[in-house]
Structure 1
Amino acid sequence: MTPTSHGHRALRWTAGTVGALALMALGAAPAGAADPAPGVVLGKIAPIDGVKPGSALSVPISFTNTGPAALDKVWMEFDVTRGLSHTEVPSNCGRWDGQAHDDLPAFSNLLCEFDQPVRPGVVYALEKPVALKVLDHSLYDLLRVAIWGTEPVSEGGFEPIPGTAPAVKLVERPDDTPAAPGSARPDGGDFATVDVTAENTADFQVTGARLEGGVGDTVPLEVKFTNAGPGWVLRDGVSPAVVRIKMPAGTSVAKSAGFCRNLGSATYECGMGDSWVDEHGGQTYDFKLRIDKAVPGAKGSVALAGKLPRPFDTVRSNDTADILLDVAGAGATGGSGSTGTTGGSGTASGGSGTASTGGSGSTSGSTSGSGTGATGGSSTTGSTGTTGLSSTGGALASTGSGSVLPLTAAAAGTLALGAGALLVARRRADRQR
């Protein structure tokens, strides 16, 4: 992607509590400013539920010029998360796609310029709705629509690739009720965040291990969380999975895995470095256990935990697994146990979710922060969008009690999905899950 000197004003998706996204244009006037500037106001866009993977999706968009005079041009932006795709790019639009990296899930962006007069007090709509494709891994996704009545300001974005499809135009909707005069945001633009929920599933599962050693030995333990798909899962500022690990009796933890905290009683609760997990992605947790004494039949466990519901996960038989321990001279633990690696060896997870031991999180010792996402729910225009699953956030800590799970060094995060760039700043304040 090539930098451009002519971009847009980046709009930040600021993650607050689950169920709300506050968007704020950079450089906008204070929300409480008197005499709000005239501008453009989007019509209501309903949340979209029950779409089928592989299907086409049409989203009608309308707006009103609430000012006293006609506008010569308007600019509209359509951003989607990785489970959705723009099906065509009109010649008066440009598109660019961002691959998952660092704190960013993959996304696609479309910025369009409408070079035609827009009269005040009249509702306008696109002559044909925004066309999207629901991809096979779609589950919880976001569409963000933004509009400006003045040319967007460059914030060091990237140059979109011009479209080749016929240009899309604006048409008047005289029978629609226009927005009230003076109801525009102080910066004269507007935006809406829309939840798109697909009829899809995602199989969250864990893998245990079998350990061998003698009293006094320190042995590696590797356990895994994997999203077997087919859908990816995007949460709002919290780890998409919580894994609780109970160590076998007679052992103590010499070294803890990243993204984990000690609950006491030889139990650890672990999250991920990001707020999404791609299909076939996940996280590996590497511990070092010291065998303090031989306890016949000692056995630990790995289990999916946490308070967030998982209605998309219909397979519960793989939500738990055993950690079996064979201590020399103490007899075998018995039973076949769960799948795992003898001695717990293996590599740490990483990547963007393209392998079953990788995932959208960072390596287990890193401090990668969280992205921002959402799940099914309602939408609003203006400075607040809504998301569906409710939770209370979280940020990683090495100690603590109860069910609060940290999410890596992440907080105060902002996700800017815009025509110029999609930016995520880490959350660095505590967010409870």
Structure 2
Amino acid sequence: MSHSQHRRALALVATVGAAAGLALTGAAPAHADDRPVITLQQTAPVAVSPATLTGVSPTAMPYLSFTTTASSLSANATLTIDVTQLSAIANVTFSDNCTVVRHVASCWEMFFYDDLSGVGSIGAVTQMTVRAKADAPAGASADYTVSGTADNAVIVGGTGTVDIGGPAYDQAQPKNLTGVAVGSTATEPVRFTNIGDRPADGTQALLWASPGIGFARHFANCRYSGEGDPRRAALALCDIPGEVLPGEKAALAPAVRLDVESTAYYTYLDTMIAPAGDPGIQQSIAGRQWTQGTGGQLTLRILTPGTPTDAPSGTVSLSQRGAHGDYRITSLQAANTADFSVTGATATAAQGDTVTLDLAMTNNGPATIFDRSGETRSADIQLPPGTTPVSSSANCSQQGATSYHCTNGDIVSPAGEVSHFSLTLHVDEVIPAAQGSISMDWGPSGHPAYDPDPANDTSPITLN
């Protein structure tokens, strides 16, 4: 899996920030202070090899994305990308929206967005593809610059970097486990091979333990974050010294050991192994608070020695392709249950009155449910006859004239969590013992295996 792919996969379990490697330059001219500013985000350096390597992409694609001060944008823009310096060691091609003259690309862009509140970045149509020249020496590096103009905005650009050659840690897939006993300790070996053309001076291992599992050992050369939070993954970031040569196969020693906690059900170990200083690691750890571990050292055990080379060591990983990649997700499903229940309501109201119903959905545990697919836990509500809906809590939405759908809004449902819903109804007609209901909505897959008691999945709503 490539670095761009692994950043998308971790959106659920880790905060992604800006990587080192781009020095922003330029400022809005004084006469344009009232115009919105569109700023190129710091872009990670990329590496590309002149050699034909198994599992390694022959090209690299720097990713251009932007931030803005505006809540909305309506701007036609031209990006200017100067690859004159880079052209000495690499061939660069651009997407069809660009015209290239003497290694300078002029690329047409449209920035039209209505609502940018809470949006972290906006992408560009422009793409550049870099391929190393056959005679480019390993360890060479060159920059390219990005600038731009727009009719209704100010563009702030910057400088990116491309390296020739690099290490590439191809991680083996650890074994998925099922039926893991609560209270046990699971072991997951983490192995990788440097399939790149340059050595690395050291290794960083970034491990995510999803809610329900925790790290059984804490090492002095590792830092830890997020432990004890039932909604977030616990992270371990480990710095392991020692050169890793091309072709070398190694394993974390000792293997990763994970405590299977009382709240475990759907759990995952995410692992990323990269050369020390790799920008992909840096992006994944931005914004985290860390605590240094104590006791013992996490090391590398060499399984197959590598091949010595005159190439200098590198920190920027080559992009991998196909089934190769430095990032893996391993599932460890525990033998556990999580009993969800719903609570209805009883109320009395006269004709013409309004009445508010307080309803609930509860995870009675013992397991926390983490649905990595993005599904939340939800309930369906049928209104009692003789009523008309007036309003609802923000976590409910009307699905029809007499029904609502309510959700806890989170892919993590901790054991003991109570999700509260409310509906306000107008009583059009008094019907004795008018009955509606609240029911768990399990979706197309039906009642899940982890819920042991379907009898409490439905509860009545009784009016008058």
TM range (shorter): 0.5 to 0.7
Shift in CA distance, 296/51, structure 1 to aligned 2, threshold 3 Å: same
* Residues 26-84 of structure 1: CA deviation (Å, up to 9, x unaligned): 63653976468542111122222211111101110111111234322111111111211
Residues 33, 301 of structure 1: alpha-carbon distance in 2 compared, 3 angstrom cutoff = farther
Inter-CA distance 70–318: structure 2 relative to 1 (3 Å threshold): same
The residue identity in structure 1 corresponding to 2:393 is A
One-letter identity of the residue aligned with 1:173: L
Alignment match, 2:231: 105
- The answer as to 2:269 corresponding to 1:143 is yes
- d(CA) in 2 for partners of 1:120, 1:24: 29
Match of 1:115 in 2: 241
The 1-side partners of 2:347 and 2:244 are apart by 70
1:223 CA drift (Å): 1.0
CA–CA distance in 2 between the matches of 1:276 and 1:10?
23
Offset, 1:150: 3.6
In the other structure, the counterpart of 1:62 is 191
Q: Distance in 2 between matches of 1:285 and 1:50?
A: 34
Q: Does 1:89 align with 2:223?
A: no
Name the CA distance, whole Å, in 1 between partners of 2:191 and 2:460.
Answer: 55
CA distance in 1 between counterparts of 2:375 and 2:328 reads 25
Identity across the alignment (%):
26
CA distance in structure 1 between the partners assigned to 2:197 and 2:374 by the alignment: 44
Kept in 2, the 8 Å contact 1:39–1:184? The answer is yes
| Cα distance per residue 1:268-296 (max 9 Å; x no partner) | 12222211210011311111111111123
- 1:172 alignment partner AA: I
Partner of 1:272: 408
Hey, what does 2:298 align to over in structure 1?
A: 168
Q: Does 1:185 align with 2:319?
A: yes
Query: Which residue is equivalent to 1:352?
Result: none
Matches of 1:277 and 1:267, distance apart in 2: 24
TM-score (structure 1 length as normaliser): 0.64
Give the drift of 1:184.
Answer: 5.2
1:79 and 2:208 matched: yes
Counterpart in the other structure of 1:307: 444
- Which letter maps to 2:248? V
Counterpart CA distance in 2 for 1:172 and 1:24 is: 32
Q: Which amino acid aligns with 1:30?
A: M
- Rate the CA distance shift 1:269–1:15 in 2: closer, same or farther, 3 A: farther
Alignment of 1:34-433 (within 5 A): 34=131, 37-97=166-226, 100=229, 105-153=231-279, 154=282, 156-174=286-304, 185=319, 190-236=326-372, 238-305=374-441, 306-309=443-446, 310-326=448-464
Deviations 1:130-153 (A, max 9, x none): 111011000011211111114144
Unaligned runs of 5+ in 2: 20-43, 47-59, 63-128, 133-164, 307-316
SS in 2 for 1:238: coil
In 1, Cα distance between equivalents of 2:173 and 2:289: 30
Structure-1 separation of matches of 2:320 and 2:276: 13
Residues 364-391 of structure 1, C-alpha deviation per residue, up to 9 Å, x if partnerless? xxxxxxxxxxxxxxxxxxxxxxxxxxxx
| Matched positions, count | 305
Residue 25 of structure 1 deviates from its aligned partner by 9.7
AA in 1 matched with 2:333: T
**Other structure's SS at 1:307 match:** helix
Question: Letter of the aligned partner of 1:279 in structure 2?
Answer: A
Contact 1:239–1:271 (CA under 8 A) maintained in structure 2: no
What are the residue-to-residue correspondences of 1:19-38 with 2, within 5 Å?
27=44, 29-30=60-61, 34=131, 37-38=166-167
Greater C-alpha radius of gyration: 2
